[in-house]
């Protein structure tokens, strides 16, 4: 089975039905039955995340982190391993159950939650927010709300790290998810009081573009 085939089919059906996020649970459910493949399921955390934490010598002792759209938990486990008190959430309860099953001794607090309607207690309460490849899977009509919701998770003095597939401004928008982000779309993460620290466009040997962007919220004075 082509690893993108099932995701493309379920996303198209969900979008046609006016339910832009329902396909995630359907995909994970079918994957649990062996009827589909989750294309972003990998054995290791995203390399752009691990490189970033190593470059900064990042440690999380005494600080809180949240991983958006955590899937099976590869990125969340890395963040928790740095010492952060880590929450990781996904809109798919089946994905969350899968993450707990794969990491039975984990210190991560895995929870089902909707990025577009997160628990109020999470507002501006995390020192590190990791958004890796989630917003790009959402259609334009809800993406702005998702970007704002991601930003609102960042505490005063906190950092947001965004990792996303990239496309040039003049490239056509793909028909279905994922929708790689333009530089202008990456820049919208600087809303709700966040300031860009570093925005990197990284291109691999096959020509695939990726964004790695760091934003920070100022301290309250």
pLDDT at position 1:
43
Residue 221: per-residue pLDDT:
54
Handedness of CA 209, 178, 42, 99 (dihedral sign): positive
CA 127/CA 158 separation, integer angstroms = 4
How does pLDDT run along the chain (221 residues), one tens digit per residue?
445 677 888 888 888 888 889 999 999 999 999 988 898 998 899 999 999 999 999 999 999 999 999 999 999 999 999 999 999 999 999 999 999 999 999 999 999 999 999 999 999 999 999 999 999 999 888 999 999 999 999 999 999 999 999 998 888 888 778 899 999 999 999 988 999 999 999 988 787 899 999 999 998 65
- Fold classification of 43-217 is Rossmann fold (3.40.50)
Name 211's bridge partners: 164, 201
Give me the pLDDT at residue 13, please: 87
Domain locations in the chain as residue ranges: 1-39, 43-217
Strand ranges for 8-153 from DSSP E: 64-68, 85-90, 109-112, 126-132
């Amino acid at each position: 089975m082509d690893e993108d085939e099932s995701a493309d089919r379920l996303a198209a059906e969900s979008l046609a039905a006016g339910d832009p996020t329902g396909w995630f649970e359907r995909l994970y459910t079918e994957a649990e039955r062996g009827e589909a493949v989750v294309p972003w399921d990998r054995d290791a955390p995203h390399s752009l995340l691990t490189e970033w934490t190593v470059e900064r010598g990042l440690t999380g002792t005494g600080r809180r982190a949240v991983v958006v759209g955590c899937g099976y938990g590869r990125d969340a486990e890395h963040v928790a391993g740095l010492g952060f008190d880590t929450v990781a959430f996904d809109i798919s309860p089946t994905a969350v159950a899968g993450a707990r099953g794969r990491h039975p001794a984990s210190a991560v607090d895995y929870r089902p939650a909707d990025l577009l309607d997160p628990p109020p207690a999470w507002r501006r309460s995390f020192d590190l927010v990791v958004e890796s490849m989630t917003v790009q899977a959402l259609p334009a009509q809800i993406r702005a709300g998702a970007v704002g919701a991601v930003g609102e998770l960042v505490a005063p003095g906190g950092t947001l790290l965004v990792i996303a597939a990239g496309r040039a401004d003049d490239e056509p928008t793909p028909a279905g998810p994922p929708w790689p982000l333009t530089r202008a779309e990456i820049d919208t993460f600087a809303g709700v009081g966040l300031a860009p620290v570093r925005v990197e466009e990284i291109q691999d040997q096959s020509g695939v573009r990726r964004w790695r962007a760091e934003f920070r919220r100022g301290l309250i004075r």
